[in-house]
Each structure stands twice: as C-alpha cells, then as structure tokens.
Amino acid sequence: MGEVAVGPTGDVTLAANRLPADSAWLFPEYDFESMDLERHSGAIVERVLERGTWEQARWLFATYGEGRVAAWVRRHGFRLLSKRSFALWRLALGITDYVAPAWAVEARRMEAW
C-alpha cells in the first residue's frame, strides 16, 4: 500500500510514482509503476480530466496547479478531450480562448453529433 495524501484534495492513496494508486487503469498502454509526473504530465492530465474520478481530479489540481491544467486544456483540450469533457473543463476553468487547429475544427464539423 502506498502513501496517503490528506488535505483539501481528500484522502488519495498514492503509488510509489506519486500518482493515485487507483488510476492505473487509465494508462493501460503504459508501465504504470515507471510513469513519471513530469515526463508523462500530458497523458496524466488528459486521462484524469477525461475519465478520472473527482478525487483523482482534486489530486491533479493539487499536483499540477490550476494554471498548468488550464494551460493544457487551452492548448490540447479541443483535440484530446471529448466535446463534453472539453466543455466542462472550459466552463470550470473559465477558459474562453483555446487552440483549435483548422483541420481539427473541420473534423469536428463532420462528426454526426
């Protein structure tokens, strides 16, 4: 059993790599034990925002800070998050401007819904 982070983020059991121990299922193509908070930060932010629990989301914000998460959503959210998740996190973080490459906008237009 790993370390437990206690505080405003709630009680989250951390694995040896300092990620929430219960988040391993979010990274099936990675060797979870060898994941690094900095080297894999993009994948971590994406997966936790898209499919993580509220406890994992609180851990994410406590670990990376609201500014860094918001910057990721601005730069990558349009392409890497579902429409629903992107809308939720834009609203929650007060994001009104974001990067949307022309090819990605066109691809979204062609989606059925």
What is d(CA 89, CA 31) in angstroms, rounded to the nearest whole number? 28
pLDDT grade for 6, boundaries at 50, 70 and 90: very low
What is d(CA 5, CA 3) in angstroms, rounded to the nearest whole number? 7
Closest CA to 73 of 96, 56, 90, 53: 90
State the DSSP H helix or E strand holding residue 13, giving kind and residue range, or none if neither. strand 12-13
pTM for the full predicted model: 0.85
Could you tell me the residue range of the domain that residue 29 belongs to? 4-110
Q: Per residue in 59-90, pLDDT tens?
A: 999 999 999 999 999 999 999 999 999 999 99
Number of domains in the chain: 1
